[in-house]
Amino acid sequence: MPWSDVGVNELRRQAVQQVLSQQARVGAVAEQFGVSRACVYKWLKRYQAEGEAGLVARSRRPHHSPGRTAAAVESQVCEVRDQHSAWGGEKVHRILQNQHCPGLPSARTVQRILSRCGKVPPHAPPLEPQRFERDGPNELWQVDFKAAVYLQRQPALVRAVPMSIVDDHSRFSLALRVHEGRALEIIWPVLWDVMGTWGLPAAILTDNDSVFRGRRGGVSAWTGRLWRLGIAHLSGHPYHPQTQGKVERLHRTAHEEALKGRAFESLQQLQACLEAFRQEYNYVRPHAALNLDVPADHFGPSPHKRPPKLPAVEYPSGAQLRRVYQNGDISVRGCRIHVGDGLGGEWVQLCETAELLIIEYAGFVARQVPWSQVRSGEWL
Model confidence, pTM = 0.70
Cβ within 8 Å of residue 49, ≥6 positions away: none
The DSSP bridge pattern shows strands 329-332 and 335-338 to be antiparallel
Same domain, 48 and 93: no
Instruction: Give CA 302 to chain center in angstroms.
Output: 23
Same domain, 169 and 288: yes
pLDDT at 127: 42
Same domain, 76 and 48: no
Nearest to 219 by CA among 105, 104, 329: 329
What would the pLDDT profile of 114-172 be if each residue is shown by its tens digit? 777 777 766 544 444 445 667 899 999 999 998 889 887 756 678 889 999 999 999 99
What would the pLDDT profile of 247-260 be if each residue is shown by its tens digit? 888 999 999 999 98
DSSP notation for 169-196 = TT--EEEEEEES---HHHHHHHHHHHHH
Per-residue pLDDT, averaged over 321-347, amounts to 93
Q: What is the CATH number of the domain that holds 269?
A: 3.30.420.10
End-to-end alpha-carbon separation of the chain, Å?
Answer: 86
Q: Tell me if 61 is assigned to some domain.
A: no
Q: What are phi and psi of 32, to 5 degrees?
A: -65, -40
What would the pLDDT profile of 265-281 be if each residue is shown by its tens digit? 889 999 999 999 999 99
Same domain, 247 and 192: yes
Same domain, 88 and 186: no
Question: Pick the residue with more confidence: 59 or 197?
Answer: 197
Q: Is 201 helix (H, G, I), strand (E, B) or coil?
A: coil
Same domain, 41 and 167: no
d(CA 75, CA 68): 13
Q: Tell me if 66 is assigned to some domain.
A: no
Question: Pick the residue with more confidence: 54 or 94?
Answer: 94
Same domain, 193 and 272: yes
Q: Tell me if 267 is assigned to some domain.
A: yes
Query: Which DSSP letter does residue 340 get?
Result: B
Same domain, 164 and 288: yes
Same domain, 198 and 263: yes
Report the domain count for the chain.
Answer: 4
Domain residue limits at 338: 320-373
pLDDT at 284: 93
Same domain, 47 and 177: no
Before 126, cis peptide (omega within 30)? no
Q: Tell me if 91 is assigned to some domain.
A: yes
Q: Tell me if 126 is assigned to some domain.
A: no
Per-residue pLDDT, averaged over 46-54, amounts to 80
241: pLDDT strictly greater than 60 = no
